[in-house]
Chains A and B, each alone.
Chain A
Amino acid sequence: MGQFGYIVKQAARNISHTWSTQLMTLLTVSLAVLIFSFFFLVYTNMLKAGARLDDDLRIIIYLENEIVPEMQKQMRKKIKDYGEVEKIVFISKQDAFERLSRQLGNDRDVLNDLGPSFLPPSIEVYPEKNLKTLTQIKEFSDFLATLPGASKVQYGHNWMERLGYFTKLLRIIVMLSGALLLLTTVFIVSYTIRLTVVARHEEIEILRLLGANNAYIQGPLFIEGFLQGFLGTSIGIFSLYLLYHWIKSRFSGPDILNIFEFSFFPPSITFLIICTGLILCSGGSLLSIRKYLRI
Chain B
Amino acid sequence: MTSTFKIAEDLEESRPIVEAVKVTKVYTPDVVALQDVSFRINKGEVVFLTGMSGAGKTTLLKLIYCLEMPTKGLIEVNGRDLSKITSAGIQRLRQTIGVAYQDFRVLPKVTVFQNIAMAMEVLYKEPKEIKSRINELLDMLNLLEKRHTPAGKLSRGEQQRVAIARAAANKPQLLIADEPTGNLDKTISARVMELFKQLNESGTTVIIATHDETIFKDSKNMVLDLHHGQLSF
Which residues of B sit under 8 angstroms from A39, Cβ to Cβ?
none
Structural contact, A211 and B118, CB atoms closer than 8 A: no
A292 in contact (CB, < 8 A): no
Interface size on A, residues (CB 8 A): 18
B145 in contact (CB, < 8 A): no
Which residues of A sit under 8 angstroms from B126, Cβ to Cβ?
1
Give complex CA distance A216, B95 in Å. 13
Structural contact, B105 and A295, CB atoms closer than 8 A: no
Structural contact, B93 and A209, CB atoms closer than 8 A: no
Name B167's closest neighbour in chain A (CB-CB).
Answer: A210
Structural contact, A206 and B118, CB atoms closer than 8 A: yes
A166 in contact (CB, < 8 A): no
Give complex CA distance A210, B96 in Å. 9
Give complex CA distance A214, B89 in Å. 12
Which residues of A sit under 8 angstroms from B91, Cβ to Cβ?
208, 211-214, 295
Which residues of B sit under 8 angstroms from A89, Cβ to Cβ?
none
Nearest CB of chain B from residue A38's CB, rounded to whole Å? 42
B124 in contact (CB, < 8 A): yes
Name B108's closest neighbour in chain A (CB-CB).
Answer: A202
Give complex CA distance A210, B121 in Å. 10
Near B by CB (< 8 A), chain A positions 139-179 give none
B54-83 Cβ-contact flags toward A at 8 Å (1 or 0):
000000000001010000000000000000
Most buried by B among A3, A203, A211: A211
Structural contact, B124 and A202, CB atoms closer than 8 A: no
B46 in contact (CB, < 8 A): no
A115 in contact (CB, < 8 A): no
Name B124's closest neighbour in chain A (CB-CB).
Answer: A3
Structural contact, A211 and B94, CB atoms closer than 8 A: yes
Which residues of B sit under 8 angstroms from A212, Cβ to Cβ?
91, 122
Give complex CA distance A41, B44 in Å. 70
Name B128's closest neighbour in chain A (CB-CB).
Answer: A1
Which residues of B sit under 8 angstroms from A69, Cβ to Cβ?
none
Nearest CB of chain A from residue B77's CB, rounded to whole Å? 13
Which residues of A sit under 8 angstroms from B105, Cβ to Cβ?
205-206, 209
B99 in contact (CB, < 8 A): yes
B127 in contact (CB, < 8 A): yes
Which residues of B sit under 8 angstroms from A2, Cβ to Cβ?
124
Near B by CB (< 8 A), chain A positions 200-238 give 202-203, 205-214, 216
B107 in contact (CB, < 8 A): yes
Nearest CB of chain B from residue A140's CB, rounded to whole Å? 69
Which residues of A sit under 8 angstroms from B132, Cβ to Cβ?
none
Give complex CA distance A139, B150 in Å. 81
- A sample of 26 inter-chain contacts (CB < 8 A) reads A1-B126, A1-B127, A6-B124, A206-B105, A206-B107, A208-B91, A208-B94, A209-B65, A209-B94, A209-B105, A210-B94, A210-B95, A210-B118, A210-B122, A211-B90, A211-B92, A211-B94, A211-B96, A211-B97, A211-B123, A212-B122, A213-B88, A213-B91, A213-B122, A216-B122, A295-B87
Given contacts A211-B97, A212-B91, 8 further A-B contacts (CB under 8 A): A6-B121, A203-B107, A208-B94, A209-B65, A209-B105, A210-B94, A210-B119, A295-B87
In the A-B complex, the 8 residue pairs with the closest CB atoms: A211-B94, A211-B95, A212-B122, A210-B122, A210-B119, A213-B91, A211-B91, A3-B124
Q: Which A residues fall within an 8 A CB radius of B? A: 1-3, 6, 202-203, 205-214, 216, 295
